[in-house]
Structure 1
Amino acid sequence: MAKTETKTEATTERKVVNRDEVEPVCWFGEEGRFLLRKEDTGGLYSFYQITTQPGSGPPLHVHETADEAFFVNKGTYEFEVGGVTETITAGTVIYGPRGVPHRFLNVGDEPGQLLVIATPGGVENFFIGLSELVSGGAPDWSKMQELANANQMRGFTPPPGAR
């Protein structure tokens, strides 16, 4: 019987990344540094660091095609995953499976830091696009929703009074 080989989206090679040499991407009080992008892992996953300010975090949303694992490297966060809300502190990992609504909020008094693995890779495309959308000030929520849809995400809704 012949052996079948499975190819990934790109050839992967050894890569060493210094976080401080990665240009940050900023959105809504958060800063992301994409240490390993989809292209670096043959599409298998993305690995990134998010730094959040106190009171910052995304609204409840769903990744239709990606799983995420969040490791709290610094700070205290409130996470809601699948309707369960709990406080997560440094040294703890929480898993957010695809298709399950989730959100997080930095509930500490200082900037917090998360290390995140998203599989399959490519979530960085959403955040890079989001950074561009909010760089001019208040976001255009219809464009933000288009960006979310294009990246297989749903649930981002504007706050009351936003356009």
Structure 2
Amino acid sequence: MKISKKIAEHYKWGNDCDGWYLMKRQDLSIIHEHMPPHTSEVRHYHEWARQFFFVLKGEATIEIDGKVIQLEEQEGVEVPPRVPHQMMNVSDEPVEFLVISQPTSKGDRILAEATSGVDNT
């Protein structure tokens, strides 16, 4: 079955961020997310889910286990299970990206303490 943001299940998160479930299964989820400028996810990790973040538009910053990585359009990074991470948009432009999780990260998120030097707002 064909899927698009127009018909995908939508949800709001964080400070006016959006997500669309392109695939929502127990063994795999694919979410298209949109973050306005100067927004961020809370630092967390997943006990079981392995995730891959891939930037479609804009620039994203992701902190993974204390290391800050800049992702530009058409770049991605993997986050293994049990590794603390935080996606951020520190730019003045919106960012859109895919989050691919295997298995689904739903119900698998555990909050992690902030690292020094990383804005956790």
Structure 1 pair 118–44 and aligned structure 2 pair: CA distance change class (3 A):
same
Moved >6 Å (runs of 4+): none
- TM-score (normalised: structure 1): 0.64
**Local SS of the residue matching 1:20:** coil
CA distance in 2, matches of 1:94, 1:18: 23
* Within-5 A mapping of 1:100-119: 100-119=83-102
- TM-score (normalised: structure 2): 0.84
* Within-5 A mapping of 1:12-51: 15-28=1-14, 29-38=16-25, 43-51=26-34
User: Which runs of 5 or more residues in structure 2 are unaligned?
Assistant: 114-121
Q: Does 1:75 align with 2:61?
A: no
Quick check: which one's strand share is greater?
Answer: 2
Q: Which residue of structure 1 lines up, in the alignment, with residue 119 of structure 2?
A: none
Aligned-residue CA RMSD (Å): 1.5
CA distance in 1, matches of 2:111, 2:98: 23
CA contact (8 A) 2:46 2:105 kept: no
**Local SS of the residue matching 1:113:** strand
Q: Which residue of structure 2 lines up, in the alignment, with residue 155 of structure 1?
A: 111
Shift of 1:87: 1.3
Total equivalences in the alignment: 112
CA distance in 2, matches of 1:33, 1:107: 22
Q: Deviations over 1:2-52 (max 9, x none)?
A: xxxxxxxxxxxxx221221124211222100001101xxxx3200110000
**Local SS of the residue matching 2:48:** coil
CA contact (8 A) 1:47 1:116 kept: yes
**Local SS of the residue matching 2:6:** helix
Quick check: which one's helix share is greater?
Answer: 1
